[in-house]
Structure 1
């Protein structure tokens, strides 16, 4: 086995080596490391390279030692070309597709061109060696490249030379090299004199392209993206009744220009001999890359993006003409089943349905747009759906139908797909993310006021959906954008800004000076109200915080902290709850976690129930694998919490270990979390032990009374991420004379819409306080009936809080908006505000001018320790 020092010198994250597609392997967990056009329609959709993602706590535990690197390459041939009509040019990436069900050879590895056409196979002798290594996951990936030739490639040849580049993790490298040696297969490594002959982008770019060259390319693309003035476009008067604001007309003009563009995508250029080359990756093709018809519409929340989108849809309907031909290139018609399709698919969270329905009723002329709700009971007839102008559906429905046969949304070639609140797909491993990426459409729009919520990696799934090459390949995103940012390189931020400048539009409501610069909205003021805990509350809080710090210090190093991730999250959750109300937090914390933090759950059913309630109590608890709230929550015997789907995929891999603590797991070590029973949703709230309201509740009551005295007609929204807290607030608010409504994630979409409509209703007997969870009301909900927002507890994700504020501060608001944060002095809540500031810098700098600074990473060990105050004096 090669020594570690040499390995580190040539370790290449798969990110830098993706000029050629990896071998596809049906058992690998995460798809979309390739441009969709490189995937044959009949091939498996999961790729082995994707398992190398370095995102999330589980990856942090493994570090660079878990990351695949380039072992070397094998000089081989593509054989059997006589049986296929496809051709390949010199220096072309080819797809290597594992075909375990091939009737002639169970080890078969097929070769496909960049145009999804089969070219041939790898020789049977080589396939017999590589197939078992790939099937067993010892090899993480194999990349194929037809090397550049000085002479014209003979298109009638039966064989072609091919370089096969192999990637493996350090732990598997020795086994791979031994297998190749036993089979007398010559692996050319970086110490081999012929290594420089490799045509892989990673090797060639190191030889001829410096970082400075790459930065110049990004700079050029950034200038190209922002040089053209946006010409405003009016909404079609025969469809849209409302007059657009100037900024909406400009946005409509920008979107129309992008949809009608015939330009080459960023980084592509024509070389003059009928060949197109990507200047960033050196990939060449004889087929003209299609224009990037779409982009990221990232205007600030509350600026009327939905009406702008309806105007775009209406313009398509009003024109109702065939797609024009362009002088520079042939442009295909957007068709389905031979008929011109003009149907737009809108995908959004359930809470946003009501917003689209309301906007359609308020702004669109009756009967001018035919709308179908693809939700609940729905047609499976593709032709029926194509009769409509707009199809509204949800991410969850697409995720459910992703693996189902006969789903019409998968088969239709949509005229346009719009992802509303697109930050929902920030997790590239989630099934709903895979589902939207796989949709067929030429025009693709990402719409969100918060494209970055935690990390720049939130943008990668958006690039994959837009099919913006090469950034739709995870490995390229990591090498060119993610890793420079994480290392604190100034060029990383500059690249990100230029990239977004080329494909996105973002305007904000307020300038740096605090004056409204986009639309005539009343001002918004954000204030902090600091609260002192009572002596009793402080005693409980300090005891819990001391216990948490001691426990984390017992864990010692960062790896140990991550192995005990659930324990750390438990303490963070309970400290946050103690700031709200002691009644939220069980105080017998020592009974929760025995001395042995890895106690076997099979021997402790009570611990299983308590861990299940941990997930239920915390609306923001995420599965450490997919970084989304767990679905079908599973708790392992080592007390770690995952989605059932996520952990089962891990168990199918060769490691079969817990991603956090690395303890060996089997299906017998997994426990479905017991269902946590909720009180009656429509009841007056849970009976509770009679006790004075908490310090924070008392502060809220004082603020609400002062606001009511100032303006008796004013309405307020109180946001909390704890559903139990919303229930606890109902009784004291009603006793104080406030009429309340509650809006939380346990309610159906129909019930939520009823609550929103009730709250918007005026009159003496109308509700004056809405108690809302950030999840249920943080996106796509119009709450302009209120003018005051109370953030009862802070989130560490500032984007979620901004969404909540802008449910009130948006177009349609007539009063000045006041936002009040309730923060407990000397607590974890103050530390959360510090964490928010880090994330805000990343979000603002990504779309703004270069300001330097290091990108905020995911909440890893140092942030977990910061949250608990470990290391503070």
Structure 2
């Protein structure tokens, strides 16, 4: 019989006392333990990764020291360096750890010299250790790298599991903690026999609650999810080949995870864009909600998203390849987690598909395509359901259905497209800006030509800040300018925050034009047609540029590297495709965005060598092509930013190999004049838009006066003629002055130039 006053649930559970109770309590307790372990797994794995990373870093430091010859101590040792070499200490690595007493034992080395050597070696070791940056080397895999890679892959999966299950796990542990303790006496009949009435009643009620939880469908679902994630974290069935292939496919995600275990040392001030301390504190005061983000964000990306949210209307001007897209999406996801619904992206048509892919890849927000025949219906669904809508500059103005509706966040990608206030595109975007609660302009090149254009962008976002930007800000120098724009502009550079990024080697491949090249070029100069002059190097059958490009592609094929070739001209791309690589894909302005993305995906998926041809204005913006590690620029572009954006398609987060950039340039041609124009524009951008002070420009162009060529022999040069004044007339378009310069250099149309000088 039941005790008087015992509840029906308690009475029902009396038959479960003993083994049934023990089994039930064990199942619930094991599930809770496994759930808590899974949620805590990321930190445990990170500690394991730190230990593995420390081993690899020490190995790297040792390797670098072994490559430093002992002759580096020449200033300290003088001629006695040979004594160290003869004793077997040929590298700094061999000297590291050698005591002063051991050095004194060597002939000719006294206590003072030994102490100097020891101090010098310590200083070198400290410098190497300070600058050491671990990077995976997939071309030289080994067990230590593989083990760290496996741990980082497990961390990524554990992070996903913890994010998805943290809510249900907390719910389970919260409601079962007291009930498991209360039900404990029911595990044995003897314990229940000697328990008091209240304790016995509590045990039976707790057992009833645990039984309800055990049979609940949500508990079954949670148990299945825990098992699935445990297997994923354990990398069950994973091979070394799969680990390295996943790294090659998504190295950005792996390195982002590495940054969370201390594998990427970043200067805090650089990661936060060198903004004033007071503003930084206000920005970081509110934590970023990442519950709707699938990917791991790096520290500087978290701060970037916080900046965009706090400042409300701002420009994210990070250098290409630092993940402006994911930072903007993280800001949107944060707002969505706080109850906001509608987010709108406006971008060039060439990158619209990429945005839609990135939304699905990095967030749990729904993506809507507001472009094409079904854009109106898609817009209505977006207005009803919320999510991230993506449209183009050209389509935005025709979406009547959007009028009268605001957005929680408007993201304008490649915002330098709207720097001209008189342009229709700018005016359409300005109307959208006015209707948005928050606005983010994304652009890596807001200072392409002059500071005034940057001011025009600021005017659309923060008119008061724009009014405060005076000419004296620019005159005073870059630091004063940056202080003035801190409330609206955040920029970080690759060298500051992407320390694990492989090196970028830029090579100026100057070629000597063939006689046929020269004939075609002189004819183009004589015609006064600048576009013909720029393409003349590709006309001849024995084109020197085509030959050099073919050599670079062949070398890349032998090394298993993928290649992107950029040119402004369709005709040049056609010649390269016909002559060198007929199987290569080709991205051009006329190729629809979806097809561009398909070509990029095929290029990325190809194993080993592949070639992709791109018109620089179409393929050089917005697309991610980090599968390529060789970039060829078939001719120089007017704007350095266009070249830099093209290079950044490959040299960006996710790149795992050193990137070779080949600028193929024709000696004694218009290429030299365009490089001169480039230098001026790059200087302006570096001075005012980069945090670092303007650096010495790398002038690697060959001086034509130092290397005579057969062209110089064949074409008379008016060295004895005065420089035409028209070449320095800034009222003339730059393109016209370049044509005149080449005509003057080659002794063509001299009468025309003299006539212009007289006028």
Into which bin does the TM-score normalised by the smaller protein fall?
A: 0.5 to 0.7
Matching residue of 1:248? 301
SS of 1:771 mapped into structure 2: strand
Indicate conservation of the 8 Å contact 1:372/1:388, yes or no: no
Larger radius of gyration: 2
Which 5+ residue runs of structure 1 have no aligned equivalent?
Answer: 1-220, 259-292, 321-340, 402-406, 512-516, 549-570, 584-691
Equivalent of residue 490 in structure 1, options 475, 491, 494: 475
Q: Normalized against structure 1, the TM-score is what?
A: 0.46
Deviations 1:227-262 (A, max 9, x none): 75863976534311221112112212322332xxxx
Q: Normalized against structure 2, the TM-score is what?
A: 0.53
Equivalent of residue 449 in structure 1, options 432, 435, 444: 444
Deviation at 1:762, TM superposition (A): 2.4
Equivalent of residue 741 in structure 1, options 570, 578, 585: 585
Equivalent of residue 578 in structure 1, options 497, 520, 536: 536
Matching residue of 1:286? none
Matching residue of 1:53? none
Matching residue of 1:509? 494
Matching residue of 1:425? 418
Question: In the alignment, is residue 864 of structure 1 matched against residue 706 of structure 2?
Answer: no
Equivalent of residue 365 in structure 2, options 340, 353, 369: 369
CA distance in 1, matches of 2:278, 2:524: 52
* Cα 1:435/1:763, change in 2 over 3 Å: same
Matching residue of 2:601? 757
CA distance in 2, matches of 1:352, 1:425: 16
* Cα 1:363/1:741, change in 2 over 3 Å: same
Question: In the alignment, is residue 317 of structure 1 matched against residue 302 of structure 2?
Answer: no
Indicate conservation of the 8 Å contact 2:342/2:409, yes or no: yes
Deviation at 1:817, TM superposition (A): 0.8
Indicate conservation of the 8 Å contact 1:533/1:695, yes or no: yes
Equivalent of residue 796 in structure 1, options 625, 635, 638: 638
Deviation at 1:721, TM superposition (A): 0.5
Matching residue of 2:403? 410
Question: In the alignment, is residue 703 of structure 1 matched against residue 703 of structure 2?
Answer: no
* Cα 1:806/1:391, change in 2 over 3 Å: same
Deviations 1:243-301 (A, max 9, x none): 1112112212322332xxxxxxxxxxxxxxxxxxxxxxxxxxxxxxxxxx221101111
Matching residue of 1:771? 613
Which 5+ residue runs of structure 2 have no aligned equivalent?
Answer: 1-273, 696-727, 746-759
CA distance in 1, matches of 2:508, 2:285: 40
SS of 1:438 mapped into structure 2: helix
Matching residue of 1:846? 688
1:76-475 matches, within 5 Å, as: 228=281, 231=284, 236-258=289-311, 293-320=312-339, 342-364=341-363, 368-376=364-372, 377-379=374-376, 384-386=381-383, 387-401=385-399, 407-439=400-432, 440-469=435-464, 471=466
CA distance in 2, matches of 1:378, 1:862: 41
Equivalent of residue 658 in structure 2, options 816, 837, 843: 816
Question: In the alignment, is residue 721 of structure 1 matched against residue 721 of structure 2?
Answer: no
Question: In the alignment, is residue 535 of structure 1 matched against residue 515 of structure 2?
Answer: yes
Matching residue of 2:156? none
CA distance in 2, matches of 1:753, 1:572: 32
1:533-612 matches, within 5 Å, as: 533-546=513-526, 548=528, 571-579=529-537, 581-582=538-539
Query: CA-atom RMSD, angstroms?
Result: 3.1
Indicate conservation of the 8 Å contact 1:531/1:822, yes or no: yes
CA distance in 2, matches of 1:433, 1:818: 37
Indicate conservation of the 8 Å contact 2:420/2:456, yes or no: yes
Indicate conservation of the 8 Å contact 1:347/1:395, yes or no: yes
Which structure dedicates a bigger proportion of its chain to helix?
Answer: 2
SS of 1:241 mapped into structure 2: coil
CA distance in 2, matches of 1:849, 1:858: 33
CA distance in 2, matches of 1:770, 1:526: 19
Deviations 1:775-830 (A, max 9, x none): 11111101111110000111110111111001111111111111110011111111
CA distance in 2, matches of 1:381, 1:848: 39
Matching residue of 2:503? 523
SS of 1:469 mapped into structure 2: helix
CA distance in 1, matches of 2:615, 2:731: 26
Matching residue of 2:672? 830
Deviation at 1:573, TM superposition (A): 1.4
More displaced, 221-230 or 792-801? 221-230
Indicate conservation of the 8 Å contact 1:437/1:464, yes or no: no
Deviations 1:193-240 (A, max 9, x none): xxxxxxxxxxxxxxxxxxxxxxxxxxxx99688675863976534311
Deviation at 1:356, TM superposition (A): 1.8
Indicate conservation of the 8 Å contact 2:686/2:694, yes or no: no
Deviation at 1:375, TM superposition (A): 0.9
